[in-house]
Amino acid sequence: MIEFQNVSKSYHGKAVIENLSLHLEKGKITVIIGSSGSGKSTTLKMINRLEEHNAGKILFAGEEIASIPVEQLRCRMGYAIQSNGLFPHWSVAENIACVPNLLKWDKQKIARRVDELLEVLDLSPEQYRDRMPHQLSGGQQQRVGVARAMAADPEILLMDEPFGALDPVTRASMQKEVRRIHRLYGKTILVITHDIDEALYLADHLILMDKGAIVQQGAPMEILTQPANDFVRDFIGRSDIGLKMLSLQTVESHMVPGEYRAGCGVISSDIALNEALSRFISEQSDVLNVTGADDVHLGLVTFSGLLKIPALQSQMGRGA
């Protein structure tokens, strides 16, 4: 979907990105994480040409972005940022309708799309479409920012620290929202973040940057189990690497199907294993019964079973 070929960028003669090559796969969530000033935002902004690259090629669906008129390019890409960037004097509906209006969509189609996106993002259209941005909470503004980025059904969604300004609870719910939207629409998404847990939760493909270059990239579990060097090890957090591995898998994947233990607590099959571990400890129990949709009993999960996860075992075998 997006291909960087030996891309470089400098500001006032100082290189901030050098010979960067990367590929954002269609339909996948790619997350770029890295130290401050490593060039993450610059990389993202070169895609929608808020910043122009100085050398190399950036291809969008096979076409060089430099040859696509900038307005046309941006209408094909959704862009959501930390400060949400809503126009303060426009209503929620007007904000969401911004790109569809530019594209001269029919009024009824725009109204239907605004309501559809508000529903998807859990904001009742009747209640919210006519509100002004200042009449919304931070989390609601962020949702409207995401709805606006998605309004014209863009081919790619670019999200630069989209949840950076939110409290941890709202942030976690927005992360779930992005995963759900991704499942629903199968969009290609690029997310920039500072937060390693957010990155691990969202990413199909994770890219770690330092000083304008890629240090390591791959699936989250691959990076956790095979960190390329000390920089990566420090970045992902040496001390709780096991917990991070557990966070990438759900109870369902380590359940003993069909079994039941009377008198034990209950956990939902879609809960991450790090949360299951916390439940084992807080309930002083080594067995939890597992339920699926509509509270149907599915099986059980055991504390000792968590230690038998292959990724954890290979890590322990390496003496980490």
Ligand X SMILES: Nc1ncnc2c1ncn2[C@@H]1O[C@H](COP(=O)(O)OP(=O)(O)OP(=O)(O)O)[C@@H](O)[C@H]1O
Beta pairing partners, 265: 288
Distance of closest approach, residue 37 Cβ to ligand X, in angstroms? 4
Q: Which two tokens stand for residue 298?
A: 């599915």
Question: By the 8 A CB rule, do 315 and 245 touch?
Answer: yes
CA dihedral 301, 303, 305, 311 (to 10 degrees): 120
Give the whole-angstrom CA distance, residue 281 versus residue 203. Answer: 28
Distance of closest approach, residue 105 Cβ to ligand X, in angstroms? 33
Beta pairing partners, 15: 10
Question: By the 8 A CB rule, do 80 and 160 touch?
Answer: yes
Nearer to ligand X, 41 or 291 (CB): 41
Nearer to ligand X, 11 or 185 (CB): 11
Beta pairing partners, 190: 30, 158
Distance of closest approach, residue 213 Cβ to ligand X, in angstroms? 12
Contacting residues toward ligand X, per CB under 6 A: 11, 16, 34, 36-42, 194
Nearer to ligand X, 84 or 140 (CB): 84
The residue among 149, 94, 102 whose CA lies nearest residue 121 is 149
Nearer to ligand X, 33 or 181 (CB): 33
Nearer to ligand X, 40 or 129 (CB): 40
Nearer to ligand X, 40 or 113 (CB): 40
Distance of closest approach, residue 36 Cβ to ligand X, in angstroms? 3
Nearer to ligand X, 39 or 227 (CB): 39
Exposed e or buried b for every residue in 62-93, given b needs 16+ CB within 10 A? eeebeeeeeeebbebbbbbbbebebeeeebbb
Rg of the Cα atoms in the chain: 22
- Residue count (the chain): 320
Rounded to the nearest angstrom, the gap between the alpha carbon of residue 308 and the centroid of all alpha carbons in its chain is 28
Distance of closest approach, residue 7 Cβ to ligand X, in angstroms? 13
Distance of closest approach, residue 157 Cβ to ligand X, in angstroms? 18
Distance of closest approach, residue 193 Cβ to ligand X, in angstroms? 9
